[in-house]
Amino acid sequence: MEYALTFEQYQEGLEKGKLLGLHCNTCETFTFPPMGTCRNCNGTDLKVAEAGGEGIISTFTVVRVAPEGKRPPYVVAMAELKEGPSVIGNLIDINPDEADMKLIGKSVKLGSQMVEGDVYSSDDCRVITFSLKEG
């Protein structure tokens, strides 16, 4: 069975500012980022759909000891999208030293940024970013 939405297609979406995921025709659940089956019912009757790009921070950390090739400090966060799924990305437009518990529950706008590949994980690719919404 053909993979519904490959990582390459997902990346092409991010490149164009689209957050491509999968809508399940069986249970109406939205799966994001894409994977082989519906995250709720494991169904395979899926169609490509776009997320609106709004979410709420559910947790975060400031990475200060980074993997080889990464420059700390930076903020990694998890946000729950309006459509239901959660996703991990980098909270940008914030001084990492000012990240504190008040971030949890804040509304964010999703985007993406390029990260460089390395000898292990090959190509450059885009990862999800979160920006705090005004107010």
Partner 1 sequence: MREVAVLGVSMTKFGVSEKTNLEMFTEAGLEAMSNSNIESKDVEALFFGNCLGDFEEGQMHMAPFAHAELGLPMSAPATRFESACATATVAIRHAALLVGAGVYDVVLAGGTERATKMGTPLATKTFAMATQSQHEARAGLTFPGVFAMAAHMYSSKYGVDLPELKKNMAEVAIKNHYHGTLNPKAHFQKEIDLDTVLDGMMVADPLQLFDCCPFSDGASALVLAEAGKAKDLVKKPIYVAGMGQASAGSLYLQQDVTRVKARETAVSQAYKEAGVGPDDIDVVELHDCFTIAEILALEGFGFYEFGKAHDAAAKRETYLNGKVVVNPSGGLKSKGHPIGATGAGQVTEIVEQLRGECGPRQVEGARIGLVDTLGGDLGTVCNIILRS
| Binding region for partner 1 (CB under 8 A) | 7, 33, 35, 39, 58-70, 74, 76-78, 80, 85-90, 99, 101, 104-105, 115, 120-121, 125, 127-128
Q: How far apart are CA 89 and CA 75, in angstroms?
A: 8
* CB-based contact 52:102 (threshold 8 Å): no
Minimum distance of partner 1 from residue 127's CB (angstroms): 5
| One-letter amino acid for residue 105 of the chain | G
Q: How far apart are CA 129 and CA 2, in angstroms?
A: 29
Please report, in angstroms and rounded to a whole number, the separation of the first and last CA atoms in the chain. 46
Answer positive or negative: Cα dihedral of 101, 93, 81, 85: negative
Between 13 and 85, whose beta carbon lies closer to partner 1?
Answer: 85
Minimum distance of partner 1 from residue 16's CB (angstroms): 18
Minimum distance of partner 1 from residue 118's CB (angstroms): 8
Q: How far apart are CA 79 and CA 12, in angstroms?
A: 22
Minimum distance of partner 1 from residue 2's CB (angstroms): 19
Q: How far apart are CA 8 and CA 116, in angstroms?
A: 16
